[in-house]
């Protein structure tokens, strides 16, 4: 029996990419995929790769993208071990476990392992108790801090902030109904149609006397929930605006008093954090306003007294994208690159303060039926965790482990499947340190340094090759090593080719390189190239084929995934460079003579 990974044709690869992209676009991802934000793949493609490693029928592999046919797949996967030596948030081991594999995830980053362990509770029967714990912790926290967010007849959802000086704000406040915009001028807020806005123009000078929300920042507009529904108010004008401004001033001292004793979350110097340090942010607690930090601290404190401190810490860390001064949801036309902000910790001039526990039942204590208001807050992530609960069975094992050392003793996998760090992109270790604050507040270990591969270093290929070779040498006979690799630059394509060449040897044979949709269309991603190249090696004699032939399908993959013309063009160019480099390095034309 030859597994489908060695026989997938053009039509199956294109269909997998189309379905995988649709799955992401429809927001039908597994709930555990939200916890780890430094990087992620389309889960549909991951499912297809894992299924194809054991299942002989390509049709079953295509159906696996949508989460169908797992019962049938388990008859082929039972007893087989999958190991991911760079498991990150754990998507590959978690999906492998759902398919019936034994699965082990290894990562040197302790925060990644924490997130993976928290996510695994969704699969092993513990999630119902954890869900109740998280819900009750949020309810108790809200009773403590609701007065920081709710006045007599309004509750705050978002607060728009401006760095002062120069005390200027974008005129654009929010995209409104029917394609119009809510804009700010000297007369307050009004609805305008047919205007062109950018992050910097037009801008409005703000008056003196606006309420301070965080050191160096003033609040100039807010979205509030009233008995009549949601609405935006300008804090420098109007009766409601004046009431909200007065309320913010009156509650700020109480918020500060709740957080003044918190310390010990230093921002480390490095390439990723340099702009944050340049903005005067030396402690991760200053990524939050006092009322946000008080809310998060209350939630984590309540969870720490119960049995869901790990899950709560990971949810709070993941929510930092929205529930901190890094949030950018209301920047003009959303043209500011949110991915750039997150990856460099660049603190924007006009950030957004989100109420982490905002919900439709405010000011009452939230219940299970209360919907989150504002994307990415703690209440929203708790609701997603609850929705994801229900599966039972075994879960993967996750360990903090330096894969330079190979695999832990006694582990001999059927397949090593991993999505290693992108070449030349960012330091994942620094990115994950945003989890340090919620870990400390939850009473969990919070290390600030560890050993891991730096994808921005010149020794990247050497370091990664050493780690992967050590893991691949333990794959059982007839087993596989699968790498999910991508890059958006010509230099990156060359690095990928060098890495593939360094791993191909007498024991590991290159079987195929499949182009698959790696990121969803229209989302801010790590590069213009949203195609991932699935590089498959086999221990033993592979099926006779030209391993580079599938790279010719990249254009169809990009089209099926819905990528734009520029993204599709970059993906084709990278695939062409990769094929050219590997033809030279591996002498494919003479070694692999049989076409499909």
pLDDT in the model for residue 596: 32
Please determine, for residue 525, whether its predicted confidence score (pLDDT) is greater than 80.
no
What are the distances in angstroms from CA 429 to CA 117, 159, 272, 449, 454?
18, 30, 9, 8, 9
**181-185/480-485 β-pairing:** unpaired
How much is the pTM? 0.91
User: 293 or 1: whose pLDDT is higher?
Assistant: 293
User: 393 or 295: whose pLDDT is higher?
Assistant: 295
Rounded CA separation 340/327 (Å): 12
pLDDT in the model for residue 195: 72
Rounded CA separation 99/482 (Å): 17
pLDDT digits (tens, 9 = 90+) for 184-220: 876 688 888 877 766 666 788 898 889 999 888 999 9
pLDDT-derived band of residue 252, with 50, 70 and 90 as boundaries? Answer: very high
Average pLDDT, the chain: 87
Please determine, for residue 458, whether its predicted confidence score (pLDDT) is greater than 90.
no
Rounded CA separation 546/511 (Å): 8
The residue length of the chain stands at: 596
pLDDT digits (tens, 9 = 90+) for 563-580: 888 888 989 999 999 999
pLDDT-derived band of residue 336, with 50, 70 and 90 as boundaries? Answer: low
User: What is the average pLDDT across 333-357?
Assistant: 79
pLDDT in the model for residue 553: 96
- CA-nearest of 504, 494, 408 to 465 is 504
User: 150 or 280: whose pLDDT is higher?
Assistant: 150
Rounded CA separation 221/245 (Å): 9
Q: Quick one: CA torsion of 31, 32, 35, 40, rounded to 10 degrees?
A: -100
Query: Tokens for 584?
Result: 């030279």
Task: Provide the residue ranges of all domains of the chain, joining segments of one domain with +.
Answer: 4-125+392-591, 128-388
Q: What is the CATH number of domain 4-125+392-591?
A: 3.40.50.150
Sheet with 172-175, strands from edge to edge, namely: 172-175, 181-185, 188-192
Question: How would you label 472-503 residue by residue, b for 16+ Cβ within 10 Å and e otherwise?
Answer: bebbeeebbbbbbbbbbbeebbbbbbbbbbbb
User: What is the average pLDDT across 518-545?
Assistant: 80
Element (H, E) at 386: helix 378-388
Please determine, for residue 519, whether its predicted confidence score (pLDDT) is greater than 50.
yes
Element (H, E) at 172: strand 172-175
Lowest mean per-residue pLDDT among 2-6, 245-249, 374-378, 437-441: 374-378
Around Cβ 208, how many Cβ atoms within 10 Å? Answer: 8
Element (H, E) at 312: helix 309-318
**Range list of β-strands (E), 78-123:** 81-84, 102-107
- CA-nearest of 277, 279, 213 to 249 is 213
Q: Which residue has the tokens 């269909």?
A: 15
Around Cβ 136, how many Cβ atoms within 10 Å? Answer: 14
Query: Tokens for 26?
Result: 């429809």
User: How many whole angstroms from its chain centre is CA 551?
Assistant: 27
pLDDT in the model for residue 595: 38
Is 296:288 a contact under the CB 8 Å cutoff? yes
Cis peptide before 547 (omega within 30 of 0): no
Rounded CA separation 465/223 (Å): 51
pLDDT digits (tens, 9 = 90+) for 280-323: 888 999 999 999 999 999 999 999 998 999 999 999 999 988 88
Q: Which residue has the tokens 């029967």?
A: 125
């Amino acid at each position: 029996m030859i597994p489908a990974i060695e026989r997938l044709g053009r039509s199956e690869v294109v269909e997998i990419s189309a379905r995988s992209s649709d799955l992401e676009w429809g927001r039908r991802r597994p709930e555990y995929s939200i916890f780890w934000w430094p990087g992620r793949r389309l889960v549909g493609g991951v499912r297809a790769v894992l299924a194809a490693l054991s299942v002989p029928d390509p049709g079953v592999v295509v159906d696996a993208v949508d989460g169908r046919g797992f019962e049938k797949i388990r008859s082929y996967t039972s007893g087989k071990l999958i190991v991911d030596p760079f498991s990150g948030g754990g998507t590959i081991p978690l999906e492998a476990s759902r398919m019936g594999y034994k699965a082990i995830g290894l990562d040197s980053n302790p925060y990644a392992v924490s997130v993976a362990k928290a996510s695994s509770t969704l699969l092993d029967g513990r999630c119902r108790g954890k869900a109740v714990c998280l819900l009750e912790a949020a309810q108790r926290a809200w009773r403590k801090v609701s007065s920081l967010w709710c006045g007599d007849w309004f509750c705050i959802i978002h607060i728009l902030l401006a760095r002062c000086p120069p005390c200027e704000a974008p005129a654009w406040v929010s995209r409104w109904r029917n394609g119009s915009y809510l804009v700010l001028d000297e007369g307050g807020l009004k609805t305008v149609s047919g205007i062109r806005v950018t992050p910097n123009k037009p801008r409005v000078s703000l008056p003196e006397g606006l309420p301070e929300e965080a050191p160096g920042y003033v609040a100039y507009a807010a979205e509030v929930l009233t008995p009549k529904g949601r609405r935006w108010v300008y804090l420098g004008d109007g009766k409601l605006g004046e009431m909200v401004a007065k309320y913010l001033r009156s509650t700020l001292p109480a918020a500060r008093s709740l957080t003044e004793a918190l310390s010990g979350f230093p921002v480390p110097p490095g390439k990723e954090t340099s702009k944050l340090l340049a903005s005067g942010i030396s402690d991760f607690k200053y990524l939050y306003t006092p009322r946000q930090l008080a809310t998060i601290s209350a939630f984590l404190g309540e969870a720490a007294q119960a049995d869901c401190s790990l899950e709560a810490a990971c949810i709070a860390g993941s929510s930092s994208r929205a529930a901190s001064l890094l949030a950018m949801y209301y920047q003009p036309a959303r043209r500011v690159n949110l991915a750039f902000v997150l990856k460099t910790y660049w603190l924007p001039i006009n950030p957004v303060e989100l109420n982490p526990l905002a919900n439709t039942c405010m000011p009452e204590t939230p219940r299970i039926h209360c919907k989150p208001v504002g994307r990415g807050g703690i209440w929203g992530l708790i609701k997603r965790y609850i929705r994801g609960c229900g599966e039972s069975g075994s879960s993967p094992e996750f360990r903090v482990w330096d894969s330079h050392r190979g695999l832990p003793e006694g582990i001999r996998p059927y397949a090593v499947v991993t999505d290693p760090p992108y070449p030349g992109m960012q330091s994942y270790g620094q990115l994950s340190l945003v989890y340090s604050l919620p870990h400390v507040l939850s009473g969990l270990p919070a290390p600030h340094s560890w050993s891991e591969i730096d994808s921005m270093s010149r020794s990247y290929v050497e370091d990664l090759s050493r780690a992967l070779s050590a893991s691949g040498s333990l794959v059982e006979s007839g087993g596989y090593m699968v790498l999910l690799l991508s890059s958006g630059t010509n230099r990156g394509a060359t690095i990928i080719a060098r890495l593939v060449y360094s791993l191909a040897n007498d024991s590991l044979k290159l079987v195929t390189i499949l182009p698959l949709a790696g990121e969803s269309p229209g989302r801010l991603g790590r590069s213009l190239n949203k195609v991932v190249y699935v590089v498959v090696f086999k221990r033993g004699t592979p099926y006779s084929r030209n391993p580079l032939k599938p790279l010719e399908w990249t254009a169809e993959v990009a089209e099926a995934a819905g990528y734009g013309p520029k993204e599709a063009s970059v993906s084709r160019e990278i695939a062409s460079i990769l094929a050219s480099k590997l033809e030279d390095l591996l002498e494919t034309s003479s070694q692999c003579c049989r076409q499909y």
